[in-house]
Amino acid sequence: MSDLRKLLDPVWLVENLGYIRTQHNPLVKFKPWEWQREFLRILDKHDKVVLLKSRDIGASTVAVLYYTADTIINGGDFLIASYKKESAAFLYENVKVFIKNLPDVLKPVTELIEDTKHGLIIKSSGAHIKAVEMSPKVGRSFRAIRILASEVAHWKEPRKSWVALTGAGTKGVKICVESTPNPAPEGELFEEIYTNPEYYSCEYDWRVSPEHDEEWERKRRSELTDKEFAIEYECDLTKSSEGNNVIPISWVDGAITRIMKPEGEIVFGVDVARYGDDESVVVIRQGPKVLDIKPFRKIDTMEYAGRIKDLAEKYSPSKIIVDVIGVGSGVYDRLREQELPAVEFNSSEKAEDSERFANKRAESYFGLRERFKDGDIDIPNDRILRQQLTRQTYKFNSRGQIQIQSKEEIKKKYGWSPDRADALMMAFANVKKGKIGIYTDVNKEEIKKWESLINS
Ligand SMILES: Nc1ncnc2c1ncn2[C@@H]1O[C@H](COP(=O)(O)OP(=O)(O)OP(=O)(O)O)[C@@H](O)[C@H]1O
Ligand SMILES: [Mg+2]
């Protein structure tokens, strides 16, 4: 029996031997669509997957088949946590249809000993498969090592349910979180998971389904507002979330996949940790290309300045742009003392375009935004940076100026501080006309020299 299992591969099983029940047909051979093939491989490769999806593209079905196959082969329990009773029932039906229609030779591993309303047990391994309408009461009673969290942004009490489901953590648990966006507060948890670096995130809109053609699109668009269509079918989190994202996820992903030549001056952006658990981060770029992101933890200003000096010796930057708020000024002073081309960046300072922006921080983030929008930036695939960039929002203040969420606000809301994103923003900040502050320990000639270098 175990030998039989060794011969089986879940992706192969689903692609070659799968049957499903559709809304129109009680039993059809499962022929995966192109995107489903791709998604099967993602599920197979990554334990934690989050899928931002269009409605009705066959996402739940393919995830259910994959995890069911994996349960048959590898044992352990599988829970389908859905947002609606009917949807849970439909997906559960698919589990049964799939298992019962596998070929007879697989009987030793597919025989079921119990078939209660929403749960079954695979005889050979004792593995349970169950589908539920998700609520905070569910999780605690069920120890699954595979979870399909379906339409999470539409769960009734998402946060409480999530805690119930993952209370003891998700270590060793295979989990797929999928949803269409939801502009209501219920949608927030999903967006957080979507930008959580521990998850492999992917996005599939309505176009991936071969059942959706131009005719279908015309019809749908005529029934919905633009905003509704964007949310339901185009995976538009920006339209969905209350705040306005400075840099949409798709632009960030564009910058991650883009490959540009490192040409032009080398600039460092230096963010200095304000609290014990924050990171100090140096972002190193050459022209539009980010060469490296160097995070440091629990490091004092002197030590940090030393590390920056080492990096400067390696890269010979023309500018080192340093966040001088709070302890940052100590790092700045120390760099200047060592005759490095440090330039101050003070985020609360007045913007050049002070009509439009509340401060330097907002202006610089919007400068960075332009680069992402125009495709003039290439960043490494750093999941933490990606998360930080995509959570940055802006609003208009009472004077109509653009204002960016402050570090403190972000830290309060998410528990982390956007240090890598800030360092990136500084590395690209326009400080050309910036004045170098007069520091007593640096002579005026030196300052002139650096100023002319920076402003050249
Ligand atoms: N490869 C396929 N071939 C034919 N029909 C399919 C295929 N994959 C899924 N379906 C059918 O498409 C419909 C939508 O599937 P499913 O519910 O899995 O999609 P979904 O993206 O999770 O949708 P929802 O947004 O409603 O949750 C179902 O009727 C399902 O049986
Ligand atoms: Mg679904």
Residue 263, φ and ψ in degrees, nearest 5:
-130, 135
The number of angstroms, rounded, from the C-alpha of 214 to the middle of its chain's C-alpha atoms is 30
Average pLDDT, the chain: 89
Q: What pLDDT band is residue 443 in, cutting at 50, 70 and 90? A: very low
Residue 29, φ and ψ in degrees, nearest 5:
-65, 135
**Residue 434: its pLDDT value, please?**
42
Cα distances (Å, whole numbers) of residue 446 to 315, 383, 408: 21, 40, 35
Would you say residue 378 has pLDDT above 90?
yes
Judged on CB neighbours under 10 Å (0-12, 13-18, 19+), 215 is: exposed
Where among 242, 274, 297 does a domain terminate? Answer: 242
Q: Ligand 1: does its nearest atom lie under 6 Å from the Cβ of 176?
A: no
Which of 11-25, 52-66, 185-199 is least confident? 185-199
Same domain, 110 and 172: yes
Closest alpha carbon to 424 in 373, 375, 361, 374: 361
Q: What pLDDT band is residue 432 in, cutting at 50, 70 and 90? A: low
**Residue 60: its pLDDT value, please?**
98
Same domain, 180 and 292: no
Atom of ligand 1 nearest to the CA of 24: 29
For the segment 248-263, the average pLDDT, to the nearest whole number, is 90
Closest alpha carbon to 235 in 263, 271, 208, 275: 208
Same domain, 286 and 410: yes
The CA distance from 312 to 267, in Å, is 10
For the segment 80-98, the average pLDDT, to the nearest whole number, is 95
Q: How far is the CA of 62 from the centre of ligand 1 (A)?
A: 8
Where among 187, 210, 242 does a domain terminate? Answer: 242
For a mutational test of ligand 1's pocket, the pick from 14, 36, 61, 152, i.e. the residue with the most ligand atoms closer than 8 A to its C-beta, is 61
CB 217 within 8 A of CB 229: no
Q: How far is the CA of 58 from the centre of ligand 1 (A)?
A: 3
**Residue 5: its pLDDT value, please?**
73
The CA distance from 269 to 66, in Å, is 44
Would you say residue 379 has pLDDT above 80?
yes
| Residue 250 included in any domain | no
**Residue 438: its pLDDT value, please?**
37
For the segment 33-61, the average pLDDT, to the nearest whole number, is 97
Same domain, 209 and 302: no
The CA distance from 424 to 193, in Å, is 23
User: Containing domain of residue 191, as a range?
Assistant: 2-242
Q: What pLDDT band is residue 439 in, cutting at 50, 70 and 90? A: very low
**Residue 141: its pLDDT value, please?**
64
Where among 242, 274, 306 does a domain terminate? Answer: 242
| Residue 93 included in any domain | yes
The CA distance from 24 to 39, in Å, is 24
Q: How large a percentage of the chain has pLDDT more than 70?
A: 91
Q: What pLDDT band is residue 441 in, cutting at 50, 70 and 90? A: very low
Q: How far is the CA of 235 from the centre of ligand 1 (A)?
A: 17
Same domain, 166 and 285: no
Q: How many domains does the chain have?
A: 2
| Residue 423 included in any domain | yes
Would you say residue 243 has pLDDT above 80?
no
**Residue 454: its pLDDT value, please?**
56
The set of residues, in sequence order, having a beta carbon less than 8 Å from that of 249 and lying 6+ positions away, is: 194, 195, 203, 237, 390
**Tens of pLDDT, residues 65-75:** 999 999 999 99
Q: Ligand 1: does its nearest atom lie under 6 Å from the Cβ of 58?
A: yes
Would you say residue 275 has pLDDT above 80?
no
CATH assignment of the domain containing 130: 3.40.50.300
**Residue 248: its pLDDT value, please?**
79
Q: What pLDDT band is residue 435 in, cutting at 50, 70 and 90? A: very low
Q: What pLDDT band is residue 101 in, cutting at 50, 70 and 90? A: very high
In 138-286, the DSSP E strands lie at 146-150, 174-179, 200-204, 244-245, 266-271, 279-286
**Residue 412: its pLDDT value, please?**
86
Same domain, 299 and 360: yes
More confident residue, 129 or 395: 129
| Residue 249 included in any domain | no
CB 113 within 8 A of CB 121: yes
CATH assignment of the domain containing 430: 3.30.420.240
Same domain, 225 and 281: no
| Residue 340 included in any domain | yes
More confident residue, 14 or 250: 14
Same domain, 62 and 154: yes
| Residue 410 included in any domain | yes
Q: What pLDDT band is residue 245 in, cutting at 50, 70 and 90? A: confident
Q: Ligand 1: does its nearest atom lie under 6 Å from the Cβ of 61?
A: yes
CB 129 within 8 A of CB 122: yes
The CA distance from 224 to 358, in Å, is 36
Q: How far is the CA of 180 from the centre of ligand 1 (A)?
A: 14
For the segment 239-265, the average pLDDT, to the nearest whole number, is 82
Same domain, 269 and 212: no
| Residue 113 included in any domain | yes
Q: Ligand 1: does its nearest atom lie under 6 Å from the Cβ of 22?
A: yes
**Tens of pLDDT, residues 120-174:** 999 999 999 999 999 998 866 668 999 999 999 999 889 999 999 988 788 899 9
Highest mean pLDDT among 1-15, 89-103, 131-145, 421-435: 89-103
Same domain, 53 and 173: yes
**Residue 114: its pLDDT value, please?**
78
**Residue 276: its pLDDT value, please?**
76
Would you say residue 1 has pLDDT above 80?
no
For the segment 383-407, the average pLDDT, to the nearest whole number, is 88
- The residue type at 211: E
Would you say residue 32 has pLDDT above 50?
yes
Atom of ligand 1 nearest to the CA of 33: 1
Same domain, 311 and 199: no
Indicate which residue's Cα is closest to atom 10 of ligand 1: 58
| Residue 248 included in any domain | no
Closest alpha carbon to 177 in 44, 62, 81, 54: 81
Would you say residue 58 has pLDDT above 80?
yes
Structure tokens at 31: 């022929």
Would you say residue 111 has pLDDT above 50?
yes
Same domain, 297 and 341: yes
Q: What is the DSSP letter of 53?
A: E
